[in-house]
Amino acid sequence: MRLFKALIRRNLGIMVLKDVKISDISEIRGRLGRIDTKKGQFKTPTRGLMNTELRKFFQANRTLREASDFFDNPFLEIVIDLDRFKISKLQSKSGNFENKIRSIKKDKATYDKGPVICFPRLKKEVLSLSETDINVIIELQGDSQVIDLAGIPDPRHGNYSVEFENIFRRAAKKLVTRYPDIYPVPFIRLDQDGDVVKRKINWLQAQGFKMISFIIIGDSKAGEFAVRNTLSEVEDIWVHLTNINKQFKKDVPVGVVNLKPLDYFDTVSSRKGYGGGGKTGESDRFAEVVNLTEWIPSFVTTKEDKVKRFACSTLGFLTKKEYIMRKGKQPDCSCPLCKGSSIDDFYDKLRLFKDEGIPLTVHEVFSSTNEIEGPLTTSIKKDLQEDYLRSKPTVIEFQKYFPEYITPKIKQLNDY
């Protein structure tokens, strides 16, 4: 029963997500497309702006009220962190429900470019959700009146069943009936058996969903592989990936957000935080507690050695020393913090902030978005993804962790 398709048709005039057209699917890696929403059109691949990243921005600029002049991301993603306790508190419809709505509205008010996606991020151990649980998550998003694409979490983690279908179908129906100008978006965790992910995708596709979001969490390899095999050539579904760690691992400082569009994801969003380390908790606490001013100069030097800034020209998170060694003192970014200043200036500016994650976040979001929309997109257009990656020193240094990215052409040669 394609119930959802019928609902979409009935609500077509007011639907937020008007058209998804992936015009070009690279034989090697990646998709190029156009997403048409009620709040504007944008090209893919691109990257969303998280509300958590926006909050960092406002911590840095307390006098500012909105960020639309500083970022150019085509959509905002608002994450709501939930666990069993928080869900039951929402259900009591006490102050918690109202507080959450206020905070969603507040985040939305600061950025007005394109649609707002809501990502209900459940704690890893929440494996199944009842209809009542899902209903309150839907009501929260709908009642906030600022969400365009509302997240419906997977009610059955780890298995595919009729229950999954029934709960999901009723949730989507409830959403579009009660809030006709909101589009329901399934959020599927990727730490499930590949076959389960594939069956869920096939069912959602048959229902007519124009957007599916996937969540990177824990070991997501099998799930990612299932997405690639099932959706890489599908032209009318917006394939979104969220919760990506900015940096692969602490000792493998490659920016992962920038690699995922080559896995056939149209849009990507990151986890909160800025990646790349930097906040050396121990030294900070030490400096605060001991407050020995004569220690400060050496403390600052140590901090500088550890702070890692995202460098789009290498796709890595580099310390000041590493950056200068590779690129000299000219910055590779034109964000509000890098514009017209040297790499020395950038690190100097960090000292003005109590939490150096603030400027690092602002810079990273800006820089990584530009990189995806610019050079990465061009490489997909020209089928030069391998050359693109080979021009990125950090990726090459750690290519043993990403063999599938560096040698996509080998598969083709074998096929030939």
Segment interacting with Zn ion, rule: CB under 5 A, options 167-175, 285-293, 350-358, 364-372 = 364-372
Closer residue to Zn ion (CB): 148 or 364: 364
Binding segment (CB under 5 A) for Zn ion, from list 91-99, 153-161, 199-207, 338-346: 338-346
363 binds Zn ion (CB under 5 A): yes
Shortest reach from residue 337's CB to Zn ion, in Å:
5
Alpha helices, H only, 115-183: 131-144, 162-178
Rounded to whole angstroms, how far apart are CA atoms 61 and 406? 40
Contacts of 142 (CB under 8 A, 6+ apart): 150, 175, 178, 179, 182
Kindly tell me which residue out of 231, 268, 333, 395 binds Zn ion, with binding defined by CB under 5 A: 333
Instruction: Pull the structure tokens for residue 201.
Output: 């995708």
* Binding residues among 385-414 for Zn ion as defined by CB under 5 A: none
Q: In which residue are the tokens 């997500």 written?
A: 17
CB 309 within 8 A of CB 360: yes
Please state the closest distance from residue 258 (CB atom) to Zn ion, in A: 14
Which of 50-58, 232-240, 244-252, 331-339 is the region at the interface with Zn ion (rule: CB under 5 A)? Answer: 331-339
CA-CA distance, 221 to 192, in Å (whole number)? 9
Q: Is 22 helix (H, G, I), strand (E, B) or coil?
A: strand
- Closest to Zn ion by CB, 116 vs 335, is 335
Segment contacting Zn ion by CB under 5 A, of 65-73, 93-101, 316-324, 357-365: 357-365
What are the DSSP calls for 319-330, one per residue?
-HHHHHHHHTTS
3-class secondary-structure state, position 359: helix
When asked if residue 365 is in the footprint of Zn ion (CB under 5 A), the reply is: no
Binding mask 282-321 for Zn ion (x = CB under 5 A): ----------------------------------------
Neighbours of 85 (CB within 10 A): 9
Rounded to the nearest whole angstrom, what is the least distance from the CB of residue 28 to Zn ion in the complex?
30
Question: How many Å separate Cα 260 from the centre of its chain?
Answer: 10
In the bound complex, what is the minimum distance in angstroms from residue 204's beta carbon to Zn ion?
A: 38
Nearer to Zn ion (CB atom), residue 297 or residue 340: 340
Look at phi and psi of residue 359 and say left if phi exceeds 0, alpha if psi is from -120 to 50, else beta: alpha
Spatial separation of the C-alpha atoms in residues 396 and 367, rounded to whole Å: 20
Residue indicated by tokens 């389960």: 196
Nearer to Zn ion among residue 262 and residue 360 (C-beta)? 360
Closer residue to Zn ion in complex, CB, 152/311: 311
Smallest distance, Å, CB 266 to Zn ion?
25
61 or 99, CB closer to Zn ion? 61
CB atoms within 10 A of CB 347: 19
Residue placing its CB nearer to Zn ion in the complex, 248 or 310? 310
* # residues near Zn ion by CB under 5 A: 5
Is residue 335 a contact residue for Zn ion (CB under 5 A)? yes
By CB under 5 A, is residue 338 in contact with Zn ion? yes
Q: Rank residues 22 and 338 by Cβ distance to Zn ion and give the closer one.
A: 338
The whole-angstrom separation of Cα 16 and Cα 284 is: 46
Do residues 54 and 76 make contact, with C-beta atoms less than 8 angstroms apart? yes
Q: Which stretch binds Zn ion (CB under 5 A): 19-27, 109-117, 366-374, 376-384?
A: 366-374
Q: Which of 232/341 has CB closer to Zn ion?
A: 341
Q: Binding to Zn ion by residue 137, rule CB under 5 A?
A: no
The verdict on 136 binding Zn ion (CB under 5 A) reads no
Q: Which residues are CB-neighbours of 82 under 8 A, at least 6 positions away?
A: 90, 120, 121, 122, 123, 126, 137
- Residues forming the site for Zn ion (CB under 5 A): 333, 335, 338, 363, 367
